[in-house]
Amino acid sequence: MKKLYYFSKSKLQFIEIKNYKAKLTLYFILSVIVFSSILLGITYFVGSISNSSKNLISLKAENRNLKDNLDKTMKQFTTLNKELDNLAKVNNELRIAANLQPVSSEENMVGIGGGSFDNNLDFVTNPTEEKLVKVLSYVDEVSRKINFEKLQYTDIFNKLKENQKLYNAIPAIKPCTGSISDGFGVRIHPILHIKQMHEGIDFTTDIGTPVYATGDGIIDFVGNKEGFGQIVEIDHGFGYVTVYGHLSHALVSEGQKVIRGKEIALSGNSGLSTGPHLHYEVHHDGVALNPDGFFFGNLGFLELTSKN
């Protein structure tokens, strides 16, 4: 094996290099590791720059897409907000039609209120961020408007249902056939011959003529009442009560529900009466009213039942 020497200036002689192969191998390995590390570092750095560039391009494209969607959302909510304002006008017209007070501008402002997002993002300065704030405000405003209008429509719906019950309950038809022989008002009683308030109207009709309920209601009383003989009273609700007197026979019982046009009795001549007829009264909140004012265009039970 050949020996390797190096010249030492300090000793002025050649000195043998011992274990040079092991040392050379070690130096080589260390050189390879250092070089590989540098190469990997350069590769990673270049790759990072390349990926960052690609990510930046992707983020820019995503940002443009978000801006476009934000603009579209802004336009949609602007349109929706205008439609809700128009709907509120229709809502007020429906309230008037349903016999409800229209919503005042003050009530409308209380119902809609201020934006809950107004103070959340006050720090923004970027135009896109400002658009986002505006969209959030629109979302909040539109949501509250929708809830407010839903409440109004609930009121209108309930009122219309109540109105329908009222329309069905109002005594609006003649209770039987026959002509009116005695009207509503102060008169001389035909039997007692004293001045007295006649709180209803009389229909001249044969004994046994069908008598009909003039509106929906519940039979409140069936029996005899002084002066009127056998009577039927119907409580129609909403303060309305009708009375049918001088009957020969009742066809209903107390507590029974009836609808307008339902046959409830047969006319007669019971009580203080000068002849066969039906005495008919309409009361509202305890006050006697002229029944003639409730006959809708002379609509009677025959016209009513022919349409059912």
Residues 271 and 238 in one domain: yes
Rounded alpha-carbon distances, angstroms, from residue 301 to 46, 201, 210, 278: 97, 17, 10, 15
* Residue 111, domain member (yes or no): yes
- Max distance between CA atoms of the chain, in angstroms, equals 169
* More confidently predicted of 19 and 148: 148
User: Which is more confident, 56 or 226?
Assistant: 226
Number of structural domains (the chain) is 3
- CB 268 within 8 Å of CB 247: yes
Radius of gyration over every alpha carbon of the chain, rounded to an integer in angstroms: 49
pLDDT in tens, 37-46: 777 777 776 6
Average pLDDT of span 9-38? 64
pTM: 0.56
- How far is 166 from 160, CA to CA, in rounded Å? 9
∠ CA 50-56-62 to the nearest 5 degrees?
140
Q: pLDDT class for 5, splitting at 50, 70, 90?
A: low
Is the pLDDT at 307 greater than 70, yes or no? no
Angle between helices 127-169 and 105-112 (to 10 degrees): 120
Res. 118 pLDDT band, cuts 50 70 90: very low
What number is the average pLDDT over the span 130-156? Answer: 73
- Domain presence at residue 174: no
| Residues 200, 47: Cα–Cα separation, whole Å | 103
Q: Does residue 111 carry a pLDDT above 60?
A: no
| Count of alpha carbons within 13 angstroms of residue 205, beta-carbon side | 26
**What secondary structure, in 3-state letters, does 156-215 show?**
HHHHHHHHHHHHHHCCCCECCCCEEEECCEEEECCCCCCEEEECEEEEECCCCCEEECCC
Say what the pLDDT of residue 108 is.
Answer: 63
pLDDT tens per residue across span 65-100: 777 766 777 777 777 777 777 777 777 777 777 777
Neighbours of 237 (CB within 10 A): 16
Is residue 283 in some structural domain?
yes
Question: What confidence tens digit (pLDDT) does each residue in 179-205 have?
Answer: 888 888 776 666 656 667 788 999 999
- Stronger pLDDT, 232 or 296, i.e. the higher one: 232
Q: Answer yes or no: do 53 and 104 share one domain.
A: no
Residues 285 and 196 in one domain: yes
Pairing, β 217-225 against β 257-258: antiparallel
CATH number at residue 274: 2.70.70.10
Is the same domain home to 165 and 122?
A: yes
Residues with Cβ within 8 Å of residue 168, at least 6 apart in sequence: 215, 216, 259, 260
Q: Is the pLDDT of residue 216 over 80?
A: yes
Question: What's the confidence (pLDDT) of residue 84?
Answer: 72
Q: Quick one: pLDDT at residue 189?
A: 61
Q: Which residue has the tokens 């897409």?
A: 65
Give the pLDDT band (50/70/90) at residue 124. very low
Q: What is the extent of the structural domain holding 210?
A: 179-307
Name the CA dihedral angle for 214, 217, 221, 224, rounded to a multiple of 10 degrees: 10
